[in-house]
Amino acid sequence: MGYGQHATPRSRGFFRSVLSWAFYIALVFALVWGLQTFVVCPYTIPSGSMEDTIEVGDNVWSEKVSYYFRDVEQGDIVTFDDPEIAGRTLIKRVIAVGGQTVDLVDGLVYVDGMALDEPYTNGKPSAPLTPVSGVEISYPYTVPQGEIWVMGDNRTNSADSRYFGSIDEASVSGRAVVIYWPLDHIGVL
């Protein structure tokens, strides 16, 4: 177009349509980012450490909202930052919170002197593991304030607090609440 000429209605309509689509695409990305950052995040389970509760390949939703209003509690299944590998997320069950004492005796888990009823382990024994280098764990173990003790339900195949020690509660990214895929595994956790 030369000087003094105006865009045709057709070119203005196309430009508005492109801007409209760009706005909607940006809005969708912003909403997805907001939901995953502050509300709920999907995870695919890569290992068998939570079998038979959660199987390899299951997809779970981990919600973040409840921890805005309450602390992590014993029995919660949580997603958290791997204490050994940056950028990796793990999923385990909370066995004890800060101030509680964990002991492993004859394949059973005791918290504050009481044996836990753990049907989700399917009778697999809970034995101590050799801790990772630099971590010292002796039983009974009192969980420091602000930390939690986590264990996988598959006690014979789980690198958990028996291996890397208690974890900082601040590393928890959410509470696993539902398996949403595959269809034959759908269920509330």
Specify whether 92 is located in the same domain as 158. yes
pLDDT digits 0-9 by tens, 4-28: 556 666 777 788 888 889 888 988 8
Residues 175 and 77 sit within 8 Å (Cβ to Cβ): yes
Specify whether 12 is located in the same domain as 60. no
Specify whether 128 is located in the same domain as 115. yes
Specify whether 159 is located in the same domain as 81. yes
Q: At residue 158, what are phi and psi to the nearest 5 degrees?
A: -145, 120
What is the domain extent for residue 24? 1-38
Specify whether 56 is located in the same domain as 121. yes
Q: Is the dihedral angle over the CA atoms 138, 142, 148, 150 positive or is it negative?
A: positive
> Domain count of the chain?
2
pLDDT digits 0-9 by tens, 140-179: 999 999 999 999 999 999 999 999 999 999 999 999 999 9
Q: How many residues does the chain have?
A: 189
Helix (H, G, I), strand (E, B) or coil at 10: helix
User: What distances in angstroms separate CA 189 from CA 104, 110, 120, 137, 180, one per listed residue?
Assistant: 25, 23, 11, 29, 10
The CATH number assigned to the domain holding 56 equals 2.10.109.10
Specify whether 181 is located in the same domain as 140. yes
Specify whether 118 is located in the same domain as 53. yes
Specify whether 23 is located in the same domain as 49. no
Specify whether 122 is located in the same domain as 173. yes
Specify whether 22 is located in the same domain as 48. no
Structure pTM? 0.86
Examine the pLDDT at 1 and tell me if it is beyond 60: no
Specify whether 30 is located in the same domain as 120. no
Specify whether 80 is located in the same domain as 17. no
pLDDT digits 0-9 by tens, 110-147: 999 999 999 999 999 999 999 998 999 999 999 999 99
Would you name the residues annotated as active-site residues?
49, 92
